[in-house]
Structure 1
Amino acid sequence: MSRAQEHPTPDPAALSLTLRSDCGSCFGLCCVALPFAASADFAVDKEAGRPCRNLQTDFRCGIHTDLRQRGFSGCTVFDCFGAGQKISQVTFGGQDWRQAPGTAREMFDAFPVMRQLHELLWYLAEALTLPGARPVHAGLRRALAATECLTEGTAQELIALDVPAHRGEVNALLLRTSELVRARVPGKKKDRRGADLIGARLKGADLRGANLRGACLIAADLKGADLRSADLIGADLRDADLTAADLTDSIFLTQSQLNAARGDAATKVPGGLSRPGHW
């Protein structure tokens, strides 16, 4: 029997708690392993594997409370889905890259792989909470167990993992989940999957049950839009105006997407996600 077959299916509710970033248990991996380029999101260029100039010796950010004001808004919308602490405390057993420089390369290479796996776990755990997806719950549970098993591999196993292949298998289940859930919404649903909607005027739009997977909604006007039960997986919501929009029961929406958008006290967000502090 394979390790994946032996691995028990995690409880989605309990698992979701481990998929939230705990920077205090991480070795600043997103501040070191990942590259960024000088832009509206980042004040400077930084290559992969080089610590950000704002990273302190205790692995905390020296300008955490002023990131947006200092030109690092990109940091405020990044979410590792708990991959940072998993790599730091589990994969490498609490041994950090400063005390053991020989681990740095593998740690930095394994981190983005773990991040992708944890993102898939987030979507799978959410899918298992959706009553409309009950016909595929068995497949979702198997995929959840298999993905969780992959996260427990060694750094070498993570680096060698064919993530696109595994993501493709999981995505087929997530697509079916989306179809089943959105089919319960009455009427004709809009299909704008992968659409270029940059700056689109969608104020008050009826997008209930819409397919917005991978849609580019940068700076779109979604004030007062009805996005209930809409599939928002991978949608780019940077600077999208969600003032008074209804995102109740929207599916596959993440905290980082909300953080990248604009909204207000009247914006309705799904349970399990928090209203961004800058709204």
Structure 2
Amino acid sequence: MPETEKTSELRSDCGSCFGLCCVALTLTKSSDFAIDKPAGEPCPNLGEGFRCGIHSKLRREGFPGCTVYDCFGAGQKVSQVTFAGVNWRAEPGSAELMFALLPIMKQLHELLWYVEVALATGSARAVHRELRALRDETEELTRGSAEELVALDVEGHRQHVNASLVRVSELVRAEWAALVPPPKKGKKRRTDLRGADLMGARRAGADLRGVNLRGAYLIAADLSGADLRGADVIGADFRDADVRGADLGSALFLTQTQVNAARGDSRTALPAGLERPAHWG
């Protein structure tokens, strides 16, 4: 997806944030995090200037989960727009509300990301007008007051936007699926794998063009060399999925969080606008 002023606002800018993810989120001691930390309590690695003291060695120190997380730019929006640049240390009374807003703003910014992806998709032109209206509506919500945001029915708005995203998915997947050769006699190609349990599945080199993988569990799946162009991966869990050499260049609704969670390499094709994680090597 081409970089625009709108999409740049949907990228995490830790330098403009008050370390909200380092405080607002709950950490559970596991393979992802080296410690237990309740929501609302600052991570011991968070410095006075809202910088992580171990940022360059998070994985070595037992915090790979931190390298996966992406807020879609919600942190800086809450910090610089909703609270006008006044941080929770300077105004302790704002802390609870500020932390409560991070997940709400993150959901709104995630929706904006999906809408921008859809608007950059030529085969979904028939839906572009309503998508632009949804983008304007969602952007307006992100600029509401803290009190308005806390009272917002985020799930209701997600469903409202999702109806159009589903239409985009159908148009895009049909276009890609039409390019797939018909299966051999006696075999049937599965194109609807919504919510499927594919944990640890062996799909190396698989032709998954135009497949619906919404909400699929791809944890530790072998997708090396697979072709996922035109596959709808919204909400799919890519944790530890092997995407080395896979073609995700036109995967629909792929996010930075999903990319960060997977295991790829220099041969993995990614959509424009998404970065190759440093830990891929």
Work out the CA distance in 2 between the residues paired with 1:266 and 1:112. 33
Q: Secondary structure at the match of 1:124?
A: helix
8 Å contact 1:91–1:155 — kept in the other structure? yes
* 1:275 correspondence with 2:276: yes
CA shift for structure 1 position 31: 0.3
Structure 1 residues 50-107: Cα deviation after superposition (integer angstroms, max 9, x where no partner): 0011100000000001111111100001010000000001100100000100111111
Q: Which amino acid aligns with 2:249?
A: T
Q: Report the number of matched residues.
A: 269
* 1:83 correspondence with 2:47: no
State how 1:126-275 maps to structure 2 within 5 Å. Answer: 126-185=117-176, 186=178, 187=180, 190-275=191-276
The alignment's C-alpha RMSD in Å is 1.3
Q: TM-score, normalised by structure 2?
A: 0.94
Divergent runs of 4+, >3 A: none
* Structure 1 unaligned spans of 5+: 1-10
* Structure 2 unaligned spans of 5+: 181-188
Q: Secondary structure at the match of 1:102?
A: helix
Q: Which residue of 1 aligns with 2:186?
A: none
8 Å contact 1:189–1:209 — kept in the other structure? no
CA shift for structure 1 position 143: 0.6
CA shift for structure 1 position 253: 0.3
CA shift for structure 1 position 264: 1.1
Work out the CA distance in 2 between the residues paired with 1:273 and 1:189. 28
Q: Secondary structure at the match of 1:76?
A: helix
CA shift for structure 1 position 13: 2.8
Work out the CA distance in 2 between the residues paired with 1:89 and 1:189. 46
Q: Secondary structure at the match of 1:117?
A: helix
Work out the CA distance in 2 between the residues paired with 1:102 and 1:275. 39
Q: Which amino acid aligns with 1:206?
A: D
Work out the CA distance in 1 between the residues paired with 2:106 and 2:256. 14
Q: Which residue of 1 aligns with 2:12?
A: 21
CA shift for structure 1 position 189: 6.1
Structure 1 residues 211-236: Cα deviation after superposition (integer angstroms, max 9, x where no partner): 11110000000111011111111110
CA shift for structure 1 position 181: 0.8
Q: Which amino acid aligns with 1:125?
A: E
Q: Secondary structure at the match of 2:12?
A: coil
CA shift for structure 1 position 248: 1.6
CA shift for structure 1 position 172: 0.7
Work out the CA distance in 1 between the residues paired with 2:137 and 2:37. 34
Paired-residue identity, %: 63
Q: Secondary structure at the match of 2:128?
A: helix
Structure 1 residues 122-159: Cα deviation after superposition (integer angstroms, max 9, x where no partner): 10111111111111111111110000000000001000
Q: Which amino acid aligns with 2:237?
A: D
Q: Secondary structure at the match of 2:275?
A: coil
